[in-house]
Structure 1
Amino acid sequence: MAGRRFPPIGCLIPFEAAARLGSMSAAARELGISQPAISRHLQMLEADLGQPLFYRNRRGLTLTTAGNEYRHAVSLGLDHIAAATLALRAQTGEQTIRLATNFGFAQQWLMPRLTRLRAAFPTLAFRLMTSDDDDVFDTSECDIAIRFGTGHWPGWQVSDLFSEEVFPVCAPAYLDERPHLKASRPGGPRLEVTDLLSEKLLHMDTANADWLDWGDWLRLHHVAPPAARPQMLYSTYPLVLQAILGGEGIGLGWRGLVDDLLRSGSLVQLAPGLKRPQYGYFITYRRSHPAERLLHKIAAWLVAEARLQAAAGEISLGTESIGR
């Protein structure tokens, strides 16, 4: 354009991400490109401007005075572009909220509430995206990500949904065939964790290192896991639940995900829940998102649903809090 000299336009988004996150690797994860590519974009932009924008050290990136001023201008421009894009899409009825979460949460918690969610926001369309790889949420084009973890995701606004509580569950049919386990129900002898070692334990091939598996759950109870490798690994939590409901064995149940199955009698909780208060499910969306106000309303609606679920009452044998 006459009278204007623009920088390399393709460098601006990598610059904004690196400046906001303070890390080339974090910017690479968010944008779905390699760290060397981020570095090349930053070098190209600095060469074009004729001065450094960052101090580089082992801890990451720190903006220079010029870099901080430039970040403000670039962020403002990108925010205006994003807001204008969102407004135009809304005019054509194409305002779609992309909602991402893992398979288990999507099936057990979110799907039963989708009808009410759509009714609460009738002018919106929702696209549900599922993955058990949490890193995908950082690089995908999702607007809201419901994640499991500790609640620490730099660059994301985070709302607490519910904390983690995990306990062994089985189908009534499995319990009926094992009188020694049935006797451990309330009113009978307490089930010892070591009693589970002789049972068929159903395992998920976990994609998220923060999720508890049987080995973790047993070790947190100071019990050594069985030495034998599982004969079967299920790739998603819905598949594990299907096997449990089919009476194939005992699996781990998460409070919030299996509550309806417990209340209906489809599943039976065998032992008190183990709580790790530092872990849980969180609603997240990127800070400075052009639809931030709208996403805040959706997040508040989801949090209210979780509070209603808690107020409805939980079937529980008690809990035991264990730290890492």
Structure 2
Amino acid sequence: MTKRRLPPIKSLIALESVVRTGSVSAAAEDLSVTHGAVSKQLAHLEQWIGMPMFRERRRGMIANAAGERLAAAVGGALEEIEDALDAILVAERQKVLTVVAPATFAMRWLIPHLPALEMDGGEAGIRVRPTHTTEDWDALEFDLVVRRGEPLAGRLAPRPLFVEALGLLVPPALADVADTRQLPFVDAATRTGELARWCQRAYGGPPVRPARVYPHFYVAMEAALAGLGAIVAPVELLGPQLAQGALIDPLPAVRVPGAAYTIGVAPDGPNRSAAEGLARTMVREWHKVPAAVPVTP
């Protein structure tokens, strides 16, 4: 590591203050030190550099070209330090809420809606921690938790968010298959029975071909988006993909209910009040989603 070649910082600060304020007396007041202390630091600086920083031996305290250049550089550096400190202190004061949520919900709805949630939720920032089905989410630190298909303890003050409406979503590459029962399907091991229930409603039985099963739903969804198969999925979470034509909803009247999503708030967290506000904001933001075709249990 190369050692910095700098004169004493106090002497640099003294030079900047004298040049900025116009006199040793004003600089002494600016720095809350004595007149003699400022003069001593200026002398140290000139000795270290080996040249004067002021005209006519500092009479009138008018900086020469070297003094002006160095004082301007020190002033710019001090302003950058002040700006950095302001940013650090603002970030330290800002609350950051940790939201634990299922991976698919986090990726498909929560993260895309963060700008709106942060704008409506006040000054608190939001950090999202996606979870997989097999994870012990209750062992994680959080301010707010979103769970799918499982009840939350009363201590978390649970409130309902929505119930999935499951529909058939087909990639454009497979849209020309007239009989949707003949489609190749992709499915997720973490959503057991959803494809079977939807096919029972739509066809009265299973699809013609066994589905290709992936370990997680978001992996199965990527397979569907890649054109590898149709998927039965919560339509509400895939609005952008449907709007962009990345997926097609060929049977919008056929829906089956999926899992219910619930929001809970950590009872003893330091940000409980802000977390309660975020929970209310999430519910409001969710209800802005265009209504899906009602499901029939």
Same fold (TM over 0.5): yes
How many Å separate the matches in 2 of 1:228 and 1:307? 37
* 1:10-159 matches, cutoff 5 A: 92-93=92-93, 95-121=95-121, 123-133=123-133, 136-149=136-149, 151-159=151-159
Instruction: Say which of 255, 258, 267 aligns to 1:274.
Output: 255
**TM-fit CA distance, 1:100:** 0.9
Count of aligned pairs: 208
Do residues 213 (structure 1) and 197 (structure 2) align?
no
Structure 2 contact 184–209 (Cα < 8 Å) conserved: no
Structure 1 contact 165–273 (Cα < 8 Å) conserved: no
Structure 1 contact 165–275 (Cα < 8 Å) conserved: yes
Segments of 5+ residues of structure 2 without an aligned counterpart are: 1-88
Match of 1:244 in 2: 224
Match of 2:296 in 1: 321
1:166-204: CA deviations, max 9, x gaps? 01111222103x2x24xxxxxxxxxxxxx52x3211011
How many Å separate the matches in 1 of 2:90 and 2:143? 15
Q: Which amino acid aligns with 1:159?
A: R
How many Å separate the matches in 2 of 1:222 and 1:151? 32
How many Å separate the matches in 1 of 2:202 and 2:98? 39
Q: Write 1 or 2 for the structure with the bigger share of strand.
A: 1
| TM-score normalised to structure 1 length | 0.55
How many Å separate the matches in 2 of 1:296 and 1:134? 27
1:227-256: CA deviations, max 9, x gaps? 9764x4323333222222222111012032
Q: Which amino acid aligns with 1:304?
A: R
Q: Which amino acid aligns with 1:126?
A: I
How many Å separate the matches in 2 of 1:105 and 1:294? 21
How many Å separate the matches in 1 of 2:203 and 2:246? 29
Classify 1:215/1:264 alpha carbon distance in 2 versus 1 (closer, same or farther; 3 Å). Answer: same
DSSP-derived class of the 1:294 partner: helix
Instruction: Say which of 188, 202, 211 aligns to 2:186.
Output: 202
* 1:154-165 matches, cutoff 5 A: 154-165=154-165
**TM-fit CA distance, 1:94:** 6.5
Q: Which amino acid aligns with 1:214?
A: L
**TM-fit CA distance, 1:118:** 2.8
How many Å separate the matches in 2 of 1:96 and 1:241? 30
Q: Which amino acid aligns with 1:321?
A: T
Classify 1:285/1:171 alpha carbon distance in 2 versus 1 (closer, same or farther; 3 Å). Answer: same
How many Å separate the matches in 2 of 1:134 and 1:299? 24
Structure 1 contact 158–282 (Cα < 8 Å) conserved: yes
Match of 2:278 in 1: 298
**TM-fit CA distance, 1:122:** 5.8
Q: Which protein is bigger by CA-based radius of gyration?
A: 2
Q: Which amino acid aligns with 2:143?
A: D
Segments of 5+ residues of structure 1 without an aligned counterpart are: 1-88, 182-194
How many Å separate the matches in 2 of 1:103 and 1:284? 17
Classify 1:217/1:153 alpha carbon distance in 2 versus 1 (closer, same or farther; 3 Å). Answer: farther
How many Å separate the matches in 1 of 2:254 and 2:90? 45
DSSP-derived class of the 2:153 partner: coil
1:238-278: CA deviations, max 9, x gaps? 3222222222111012032012222232211132343438x
Q: Which amino acid aligns with 1:95?
A: K
> RMSD value over aligned CA atoms?
3.1
Structure 1 contact 167–274 (Cα < 8 Å) conserved: yes
DSSP-derived class of the 1:308 partner: coil
**TM-fit CA distance, 1:298:** 0.3
Structure 1 contact 151–160 (Cα < 8 Å) conserved: no
How many Å separate the matches in 2 of 1:131 and 1:91? 26
Q: Which amino acid aligns with 2:243?
A: R
Instruction: Say which of 216, 231, 234 aligns to 1:254.
Output: 234
**TM-fit CA distance, 1:215:** 2.8
Structure 1 contact 95–125 (Cα < 8 Å) conserved: yes
Match of 1:20 in 2: none
The percent of aligned pairs where both chains have the same amino acid is: 18
Q: Which amino acid aligns with 1:128?
A: V
**TM-fit CA distance, 1:91:** 9.6
